[in-house]
Amino acid sequence: MIVRHLLAAMVAGLMAGIIMTVVQQARVVPLILQAEEYEGAPASPGDAHQHGASLPSSSIGSLVAQFSPISPAMAHEHEGEEESNVLFGLDRLTSTLGANIVAGGGFALLVAALSLLLGAPVTAANGWIWGACGWLAVQFLPAMGLPPELPGFPAADLAARQGWWMATVLASAIGLGLIAFRRELPFRLLGLLVILAPHVWGAPPAPSIETAVPAVIASEFAVAALGSALVMWLSLGVILGYLNDRFEKAA
Amino acid sequence: MAQTVTTTKTLSLNDRLVAGVLALVLGSFLIFGVGLAHSAALHDTAHDTRHSLGFPCH
List chain A residues with CB under 8 Å of B52: 20, 24, 28-29, 32, 148, 224-225, 228-229
- Residue B3 included in any domain: no
Q: Residue B13: which pLDDT band, with cuts at 50, 70 and 90?
A: confident
**Any domain includes B9:** no
- C-alpha A59/C-alpha A65 separation (Å) is 10
B48: left (phi over 0), alpha (psi -120 to 50) or beta: alpha
What φ, ψ does residue A122 adopt, rounded to 5°? Answer: -85, 120
Spatial distance between the Cα atoms of B54 and A139, rounded to a whole number of angstroms: 7
CB pairs under 8 A between A and B: 180
pLDDT of residue A54: 41
- Please indicate if any CB of chain B lies within 8 Å of the CB of A108: yes
- The DSSP code sequence of A40-57 is TS-SSGGGGGGGGGGS--
**Does A86 lie at the interface with B, CB-CB under 8 angstroms?**
yes
Is B40 part of a structural domain of the chain?
yes
Residue B1 has pLDDT above 60, yes or no: no
- Containing domain of residue B49, as a range? 20-58
Q: How far is A117 from chain B (nearest CA, A)?
A: 5
Are the beta carbons of A151 and A32 closer than 8 angstroms?
yes
Per-residue pLDDT at A71: 43
Length of chain A: 251
pLDDT (tens place) for every residue of chain A, 251 residues total: 788 999 999 999 999 999 999 999 999 999 999 999 988 777 654 444 443 434 444 444 444 444 444 444 444 433 344 567 888 888 999 999 999 999 999 999 999 999 999 999 999 999 999 999 999 999 999 999 999 999 989 999 999 999 999 999 999 999 999 999 999 999 999 999 999 999 999 999 999 888 899 999 999 999 999 999 999 999 999 999 999 999 888 87
Which amino acid is it at A61? G
Stretch 19-78 of chain A: residues touching chain B, C-beta under 8 Å: 20, 24, 28-29, 32, 67-70, 75
Phi/psi of residue A68, nearest 5 degrees? -70, 140
Identify the pLDDT of residue A214.
92
Return the axis-axis angle of helices A92-118 and A158-181, rounded to nearest 10°.
Answer: 40
Picking from A217, A246, A187, the residue whose alpha carbon sits closest to that of residue A35 is A217
**Reported confidence tier of residue B32, pLDDT bands at 50, 70, 90:** very high
Each domain of chain A, given as residue ranges in start order, spans 2-44+56-250
Q: How far is CA A204 from the centre of its chain?
A: 17
- The answer to the question of residue B10 being in a domain is no
Indicate whether B14 belongs to any domain: no
* DSSP, residue by residue, A112-148: HHHHHHHT----TTTHHHHHHHHHIIIIIHHHHHSPP
DSSP sequence for A170-206: HHHHHHHHHHHH--SHHHHHHHHHHHHHHHHH-PPPP
- With vertex at residue A55, the alpha carbon angle to CA A54 and CA A57, rounded to the nearest 5 degrees, is 110
ipTM for the whole complex: 0.85
A165 near A184, Cβ under 8 Å?
no
The C-alpha atoms of residue A85 and residue A74 are separated, in whole angstroms, by: 12
Q: How many CB atoms lie within 10 A of CB A192?
A: 14
Closest-CA distance, A85 to chain B, in angstroms, reads: 5
Instruction: Report the C-alpha gap between A212 and A73 in whole angstroms.
Output: 17
All residues of chain A having their beta carbon less than 8 Å from the beta carbon of residue B35 are 103
Supply angle C-alpha A22, A230, A210, rounded to 5: 90
So what's the pLDDT on residue A236? 98
In chain B, how many domains are there?
1
Q: Which of A84, A102, A121 faces B44 most closely, judged by CB atoms?
A: A84
Q: Return residues 33-52 of B near A (CB < 8 Å).
A: 33-36, 38-52
User: In this structure, is residue B12 part of a structural domain?
Assistant: no
Q: Could you please report the per-residue DSSP string of A144-170?
A: HHSPPPPTT---S-HHHHHHHHHHHHH
